[in-house]
Structure 1
């Protein structure tokens, strides 16, 4: 059985000047910083959200590059572990969780190289559930 998703969690966006981009997203889209995730902004993403918290973008500063937007889907702790096993089974390769201190993520790509992420913010619970996954 394929595990369920909660929602689309966030979309990765790249900007050559993150400060200018943050201002644009505030002025045009009404997106503001997510205070709980600001610690990531030093070297990582600056997470912005709409006023209701239903739309998130992870704004990375990087040189101009081809669009490689990452679609991130949110799940609970148990679903995260189930998705890891499901991906290992389907992709026939290891899929290692990445610890972001505030969340865990699984990264993979479709056959055309389009990147995907499955993420959970139930960090402490996942840390207790993770076990090596065999192929």
Structure 2
């Protein structure tokens, strides 16, 4: 497992994009720009590091850490979360699949895979049927 990206909630996307570019060398990930144009995050990259910038609207201070996992681990992860009564949600991002939950201190965690079809199939196996 490795950290895939961090969600950062900012007050002004344009100002934040310039700051991260000028100070830390982050640039837009053009391959994921469609998410931003559809109302999602603005993804910035610097080599292997990635940030997903969201304009702060109603979010309280705090961030989300996203980890990359192999698609085969999704059903095992969801079984573990369920057995510990940890609520989770699944999101189909059309190019990736993600499971979201919180740790004991209410820090947001995202487990994600860009091996879309295999991840979706593994998540469906947890439910025993197709999910929406």
Question: What is the count of residue pairs matched by the alignment?
Answer: 125
Q: Name the structure 1 match of 2:55.
A: 61
> Which consecutive unaligned segments of at least 5 residues does structure 1 have?
1-5
1:52-95 deviations in Å (ceiling 9; x for gaps): 2x1111000124854211111110110223212221222x2553
Equivalent residue for 1:30, pick from 25, 30, 33: 25
Q: Give the whole-Å Cα distance in 1 for the aligned partners of 2:6 and 2:87.
A: 24
More strand by share: 2
Match of 1:103 in 2: 96
Q: Given the alignment, which residue of 80, 83, 86 partners 1:86?
A: 80
In 2, the alpha carbon distance for the partners of 1:27 and 1:94 equals: 39
For normalisation by structure 2, the TM-score amounts to 0.84
Counterpart-to-counterpart distance in 2, 1:98 and 1:65: 19
More displaced 10-residue stretch of structure 1: 74-83 or 61-70: 61-70
Question: What root-mean-square deviation, in Å, do the aligned CA atoms of Structure 1 and Structure 2 show?
Answer: 1.8
